[in-house]
């Protein structure tokens, strides 16, 4: 198993966007665009790039609404998945949310994304609802599970 090098959670910058959008295209059939990430930075969302040993390996976007945190995107590059980096990124978002006064954190996830569901479950998220036809899918639409974590 590959080891994990030193991790740094750095606020996302415009220099990161080309790499992040390329990762999103590799990871998802319906990815965010570079402009979606740029708009998130402009909107003041918590946008983070995860560096491992000085190399970009992941990214996340967190939106705060009053005392709630909403994870809009959390991703680790394909080559570095399965090493616990997603969990480290998730824990970082939780710390950022708590520091901003959030009392709970929410996210939506595809029911077909079993690795993410396992990670969220281990982190203490509970499924609290389902949004019908939330995500575009190859054959129409896919539901989203709504998950919540008390902070």
Extended beta strands in the chain, E state: 7-11, 46-52, 55-65, 68-76, 104-109, 126-137, 140-150
Question: Torsions phi, psi of 106, nearest 5?
Answer: -125, 160
Q: Answer whether residue 135 shows pLDDT above 80.
A: yes
Catalytic residues: 108, 120
- pLDDT tens, 3-35? 778 999 999 999 999 999 999 999 998 999 999
Which H helix or E strand runs over 18?
helix 17-27
Residue 5: the pLDDT is 84
Is 7-106 a CATH 3.40.50.2300 domain?
no
With tokens 């970082």, the residue in question is 92
């Amino acid at each position: 198993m590959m080891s994990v090098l030193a991790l740094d959670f750095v606020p996302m910058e415009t220099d990161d966007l080309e790499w992040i959008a390329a990762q999103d295209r590799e990871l998802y059939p319906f990815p965010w665009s570079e402009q979606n990430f740029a708009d998130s930075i402009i909107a003041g969302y918590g946008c983070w790039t995860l560096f491992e040993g000085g190399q970009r390996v992941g990214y996340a976007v967190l939106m705060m609404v009053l005392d709630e945190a909403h994870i809009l995107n959390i991703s680790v590059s394909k080559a570095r998945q399965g090493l616990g980096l997603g969990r480290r990124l998730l824990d970082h978002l939780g710390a950022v949310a708590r520091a901003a006064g959030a009392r709970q954190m929410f996210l939506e996830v595809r029911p077909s994304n079993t690795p993410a569901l396992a990670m969220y479950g281990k982190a203490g998220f509970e499924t609290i609802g389902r949004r019908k036809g939330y995500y575009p899918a190859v054959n129409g639409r896919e539901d989203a599970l709504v998950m919540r974590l008390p902070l």
